[in-house]
Amino acid sequence: MASQASFVEFILDQLSTCEGILTKKMFGEYAVYSGEKMFALICDDQLFIKPTVEGRNLLEASSALSEAPPYPQAKLWFLIDSDILDDRDRLTALATITISALPVPVKKPKKTKSKT
């Protein structure tokens, strides 16, 4: 089941105080980016945040830690419950520390065709 655009808009609105947040549609679902860093997925109208030590510490402190795969055969990600989804400040704090903890992705060089 693909995520509804209204849920994606809700997530973007909740994260509106974070700079540079955007989504990219992928296979009927959405990846959530901050700049070049993909830090979350929206799948089946659920928000999954990429796991980091910092994010785990924040979620464990509030007893809100839940993990699930966002799609079949995926690794476990943090599944964000409705209490955090509805709390803009907590969701923003989780997104901010996750984004800060993630490395900037390394761009792969483009392959060039050799002339022979």
The answer to whether the beta carbons of residues 43 and 3 sit under 8 Å apart is: yes
Provide the residue range defining the domain that includes 41. Answer: 5-101
Q: Is the pLDDT confidence value at 116 over 60? A: no
Mean pLDDT, residues 74-93? 95
Which CATH number is 89's domain given? 3.30.1460.30
- Whole-model pTM: value is 0.88
Total structural domains within the chain:
1
Q: What is the pLDDT of residue 113?
A: 72
Is residue 59 in some structural domain?
yes
Q: Is the pLDDT confidence value at 33 over 80? A: yes
